[in-house]
Amino acid sequence: MEFGLTQEQEQLRDEVRRFAENEIAPVAGEYDREEKYPAEIVEKAAEMGLTGAHFPMEYGGVGYSTLEMALITEELFAVDPGIGLCVTSAGFGAEAIMEYGTEEQKEEYLRPIAEGEAVMGAAISEPHAGSDVSSISTSARKDGDEWVLNGSKMWITNGSVGDYFVVMCETDPDVGDRYTGFSQILVERDRDGFESEKITGKMGIRASDTAELRFDDVRVPEENLVGQRGMGFPQLMQFFDETRTMVAAQAVGIAKGAAERALSYAEEREQFGRSISEFQSIRHKLSEMHTRTEAARQLTYKSAWSVDNAEEDLTMLASMAKEFASDVATDVADEAVQIHGGAGFVDDFDVERLYRDSKITQIYEGTTEIQKNIVARELLDEGR
């Protein structure tokens, strides 16, 4: 069993960390406080090939594997989760196009993201439909050679800055099965009847844009349908195996960043005439923080490897990795604040921001409770 990274993967990890330290770290606090989208940093990331890193080369991407994307995500989030999310989510929803889209859709919608000329999003959640995706009510009806969309979407990443979105819609309401009758449709921002409203006041990841989308008789051509009509739900479930692995990598990055900062602070901070790193209680905290981070990392890497190799248990592994790593992130960030004491309670130190940012990893792409349900379901099905 091989646990090591290749030399190329180690170089990729180091290059991404240098980019994050040089371009993101100096301004992370500013973008967090102002809740401002870092467009210029995303453009620089595109020049490095990071915004379309997992896209096929023929569409402007680099063709990185899921494991390599996990490495990129971990390093960006270790420096700043908010801006890190802006970089890694520039092509959010593109997986549906890569897997099910036509050649024309791939060329038109993937290349601009890889080249830093566009940003996209996946519009799934609604005000009354979060974890229960099958309860969405945004509709798309056929009118001649066009789709007409009506409804709203909530908590959409890149919602007020994205150029186009893959929108989950109900296209066949009369189908009896609650998991069929949904389709994914591409909607461009400049369509008549499309509106977005930025959501502010978030606890964390404030640099990342989040918005509500509204569709009022939005018309798009029939060729904007992604994949087969009525197959949106199973398409989305496959999409989640990869995205949940990436959230696990986000959580590992947050835990890594918090643990690194806690160690550095503990070595520098003195109380009672000596470094607090000499106190057993602090040493035990540091030991557990780094141990649990490494455990989360290995589970996340295995999940990423399983996605790349289409392993049968990848759905369970993705949910295991997300559940465990997100818990580790919140716990390690909490301990990092505790080690900093009062200094960790203000934004002079990064751990305050990491603590706030960590919570979202337990919520988006399926809550912790949903992940436990998925793992239990997979175990019970396996035992029958």
What pLDDT, on the 0 to 100 scale, is given for residue 57? 95
- The predicted-structure confidence for 335-370, as pLDDT tens digits, reads as follows 999 999 999 999 999 999 999 999 999 999 999 999
- The active-site residue, picked from 75, 195, 365, 382, is 365
Of the candidates 74, 88, 4, the one whose C-alpha atom is nearest the C-alpha of residue 255 is 74
Distance of alpha carbon 362 from alpha carbon 312, whole angstroms: 24
Of the candidates 156, 339, 318, the one whose C-alpha atom is nearest the C-alpha of residue 251 is 318
Q: Pairing mode, if any, of strands 194-198 and 274-275? A: unpaired
What pLDDT, on the 0 to 100 scale, is given for residue 174? 84
pTM comes to 0.95
DSSP string, 85-140: HHHHTTBTTHHHHHHH--HHHHHHHTHHHHTTS--EEEE--BTTBSS-GGG---EE
For residue 308, the tally of other CB atoms under 10 A from its CB is 16
The list of the chain residues with pLDDT below 70 reads 1, 176, 382-384
- The predicted-structure confidence for 248-299, as pLDDT tens digits, reads as follows 999 999 999 999 999 999 999 999 999 999 999 999 999 999 999 999 999 9
| 365 a catalytic residue | yes
Of the candidates 54, 60, 57, 117, the one whose C-alpha atom is nearest the C-alpha of residue 88 is 54
What pLDDT, on the 0 to 100 scale, is given for residue 383? 45
